[in-house]
Amino acid sequence: MAIWFVGIRGLGLCWTSFFDDYTILSKKASANSAAIAAEGFFRLLGIDYATEGKKAVEWDTKVKTLGVVLDLKPELSPGDSHASPFVTVGHTPSRVAELDKTLDEVLSAGSLSLKNAQRLRGRLQWFENFASGRVAQQSLRTPSRLASAGRKSENLNHKEMEAVKFLRHRVLTAPPTKIQANSLDTWLVFSDGACEGDETKAGTMGAVLVSLHGRPISFFSEAVPESLMEFFLTKSSHPIFELELLPVVDACQLWETHLQRSQCVFYLDNEAARGALIHGTSSQDSGDFLVQKFVWKEMECQVKVWFGRVPTSSNVADRPSRLDTSEMDSLGVPRAHVDWQLVETMDAAEEIEGCMEENGIMMKVGEAYTLVDEDSVLEKLNKQIADSEASLSQKSDEIESVKSELDALKKVLYGKFGSSINLEK
């Protein structure tokens, strides 16, 4: 670390230090000067360094270092065409191929010894450190459980085989982590859920988005649809756990454009829901369904998350969660709305894609059920999703246009009347 520190302070090098590995970043125009400075520094200290071989790499925008690939000029996907410039950190093809081969051998054998389970667990955990998202958290419990000393059989059951299959798919398709200028921007989301009623249970929920400057800029306050409450009530007579998770999932979907590739602290006042989100899994089926939806959305957004506990008395989402919007309205905070039809359609599409039934899909038409093929149903659902998302995007653009007009009008009015008016409430 002393060498690293002197290189930064004394020579102005932008470099990293990991034991005896040093990686230098430089502008193209000063790359040769940076290399001369680093090499001269090592020679001055009498330190031998690699001048050839895999560790003596040439300057490039894409290099392998410390077992990962650092890409300063990655290829843009269609969704990145309007994004700010970014770099990626991902795994080398050789490491992916090695893990793929190991998992394929486990699947072919249908068994895993204690020693191999321990090795595989460590390698997969390291792999997850440089892959975006936490979608593998639940499946990673399988090699952890298989690595325990109390195992009586090396053979894998059906559930364990499915987990290994998912981990193999994850290794082959895990996206690299993207880093850009807003990666250290930190948003706050306060959320809450409520379940009222003795005989007839009614679910409500709310959330508040707080900007980088500590001001609430959006909120939602929603009654949970009866169909969703009926599902929750089949799992629990008082589904507060599910109702605490639901607004967190919807907040990530609704405010995706704000949270994308940044940091976000989610504040909840329910410890069970907070714990499930931290671990990325839940032992309760309905809860785990919501947690999995969140971690998949988290991966898509590439948002770095933290989950904090907030007392109910300090939770600004407590009132909205009970359909009381007076506080947010008095502050002039714009209200967002959850598109329940879009949510339910996306849920249906995910369920069908994960369906393993050989006899096809039963679709309800009126009061009767009819057999339909999976491709037809998915085509119809995906069209509904695309139409809903297009409508939502159009409405969002309209809102932004109105906001711009309001801001321009505020400037005119403040310029004319000064501090004698207040247009912020």
Residue 385 in this model has a pLDDT that exceeds 70: no
Length of the chain: 425
- Cα 225 vs. chain centroid, distance in angstroms? 25
List, for residues 256-286, the tens digit of each pLDDT value: 889 988 999 999 999 999 999 998 888 777 7
Nearest of 344, 357, 223, 228 to residue 286 by alpha carbon: 228
For 294, other C-beta atoms within 10 Å of its C-beta total: 24
Q: What is the pTM of this model?
A: 0.69
The β-bridge partners of 177 are: 89
Higher pLDDT, 189 or 261: 189
For 108, other C-beta atoms within 10 Å of its C-beta total: 8
Q: How far is Cα 95 from Cα 98, in angstroms, rounded to an integer?
A: 5
Tokens of 381: 């659902």
Per-residue buried b or exposed e for 47-69, using 16+ beta carbons within 10 Å of the residue's own CB: eeeeeeeeeeeeeeeebbbeebb
Q: How far is Cα 329 from Cα 371, in angstroms, rounded to an integer?
A: 48
List, for residues 304-337, the tens digit of each pLDDT value: 999 999 999 999 999 999 999 999 999 999 999 9
